[in-house]
Structure formats: structure tokens, C-alpha cells
Amino acid sequence: MARARNIKPGFFANEHLAECDPLARILFAGLWCLADRSGRLEDRPKRIRAELLPYDSCDAGALLDQLQEHGFVLRYSRDGKQFIQVLNFNKHQNPHVKEAASSIPDPFEAEQAPGEDGIATEPDSDEHSTSTVQAPDQSDTNPADSLSLDSLIPDSLIPDPVTPQPPEGECAAVEGETDVLFANFWKLYPRKTDKAKAQKAWAKLNPDRPLFEKIMRGLGNHCASRDWIKDDGQFIPHPTTWLNGKRWEDEVRPAGTIHQFPGQSRHTDFDKRDYTAGLTQREDGTYAF
């Protein structure tokens, strides 16, 4: 039975998902509705096509292969049956508390079968099986459909690579997010100099979401300030200097409503100036101090 799920604005701008066919993208969103609360469902391409793409002539199996190739789903087998795991499902969905628990085997728990000597052995690998991937994170405490900063970052729905990840709580667990946040900062910073040094300064700060938002608000204020607008931006500091100095905390002077456009002379309104102000007029009509 299909279920109501959430979709974030970042879904539509995801560059990795854009490499899949349009029908594969629709299918990916539809899989959320068919998946159980753990993001799993039976791998039955014909039935999936009938449920999600009933009016389109397509090969649902090939579309699923595309999604797996780009790291959005995992197709695997257990006890001779085929299943699908939507990767990072619980990072982007918040199932209802009364939704039934998954009855489908977890692909991230190694399957064991008794051998001829009665000792459990690892299963033979096949086309869709795996035992080297860490399980997705548990459901977030925040509502999945809240308009958080995730919604504004185009790559927020990119799944983690299908490789073992460090334990939760270690610094390495946020490296991917740190890179994404830096990419957004770099895109908006007007003076792009020494990116490698700037990235090191950013990594040293290792900003969480509240600090990131504060940095970006400060950057927006600086971009609209007099000092950064005048003289074609020659007074904009290097990004590394700006980050190391925590310049987002500076008070800035807004540019105001008067702007000088390129090619516009500063020497104007001579006819409106009072050149006799402060002078004494002589009898012959001349002026003196």
C-alpha cells in the first residue's frame, strides 16, 4: 500500500539525480511511497512500474539499475527473494510512529546460512547482494518536511557513498556536509582567491548549521556594503583572511541608495557649487579670504 511521503526542493536541482533518465527520477520519488518505514520494498520491476508509471512504456528494471548505479538505491537478495533498499531513506523521511515495522531483511546485516558442518557461513555474493555497507542513519528527531537549510542546498539529497562510514559522532561523519557548506560559501564569495587555503580555513572552523547561517548572513551584508562595492571591489579581502578574522561579525556600512556606475564621472554638479562661501567681496567685485 502506498504511503504519503515528503519531498524537498533540493530534489529538483540534484545534479547526480539529473544524470538519470526523467522517468528514473519520477520512479525514485515513487519508491519512497512504496517503501516501508525502513525504506525497503520488494524488487518486482513489473509491479513497481504498474504502481508508479502505469501510463509510460518503459523498463522499470533498467530504471532501477540507473538509480543503483548513481547510489540512490541498493538492490539485493535474501533467501532467494529480491528486495530494494532506498539509501539514506530515514535522513529525508520521517515515517508515522504507528507505521508498521519493516518485515523485509536488512541488507546491511550479513546473511548467514549453516554449512555442511553446521557452522554458519557467509552467503555467496550475487548481482544485488552486499554485506559491506553501513546501515542508514536512524530517523531524525526533526520533522522531515521542515523547511530547514537542507531544503536550500541543491545537493542535500545526494546519498552517502555506498562504502563503510565512520561511527556516528566522529568528526569524519560530517566531512561531506562540511564540503557542501563550503561549496555554497565559495559560490557566493565575490573574490575567488586561493580556494585551497580558504577550504582549510573553513575546515578549521567546521561550522555547524547555525554558524553557517550566521556566516552567510554576514557575507550577504558585506556584499552589499560600501567598502565591497566601491572601486570595482578592490577592497574585498581574500576569503581566507575573511574567514580567519571572523569578519562576518563585523559591522558594515550599507551602500545606501546612491551608486556609482562604471564610466560615471565623480566630478559633477560644478554649476551648483557656491564658490564664494566664506570669502569677502571687495569693492571691485573680486573676492578675498
Q: Answer yes or no: is 28 within a domain.
A: yes
- The answer on pLDDT for 229 being more than 80 is yes
Q: What is the largest CA-CA distance in the chain?
A: 127
Q: How many CA atoms lie within 13 A of 188 on its CB side?
A: 16
pLDDT of residue 131: 32
Q: Answer yes or no: is 152 within a domain.
A: no
**Enclosing domain of residue 191:** 166-257
Q: What is the pLDDT of residues 53-102, one digit of tens each?
A: 999 999 999 999 999 998 899 999 998 999 999 998 888 888 877 888 89
Q: Which of 74, 35, 70 is nearest to 51 (CA)?
A: 35
- Give the count of domains, the chain: 2
Are 23 and 127 in a shared domain?
A: yes
Q: Answer yes or no: is 185 within a domain.
A: yes
Cα 256 to the center of its chain, rounded Å: 33
Are 90 and 171 in a shared domain?
A: no
Are 35 and 80 in a shared domain?
A: yes
Q: What is the pLDDT of residues 19-57, one digit of tens each?
A: 999 999 999 999 999 999 899 999 999 999 999 999 999
∠ CA 231-233-238, nearest 5°, is 140
Measure the CA–CA gap between 69 and 48, rounded to whole angstroms. Answer: 18
How much is the mean pLDDT over the chain?
75
Q: Answer yes or no: is 114 within a domain.
A: no
More confident residue, 282 or 160: 282
Residue 153's Cβ-count burial label (10 Å; 0-12, 13-18, 19+) is: buried
Q: What is the pLDDT of residues 98-118, one digit of tens each?
A: 888 899 999 887 665 555 544
Q: How confident is the model at residue 221 (pLDDT cuts 50, 70, 90)?
A: confident
Measure the CA–CA gap between 104 and 35, rounded to whole angstroms. Answer: 10
38 CB neighbour count, 10 Å cutoff: 21
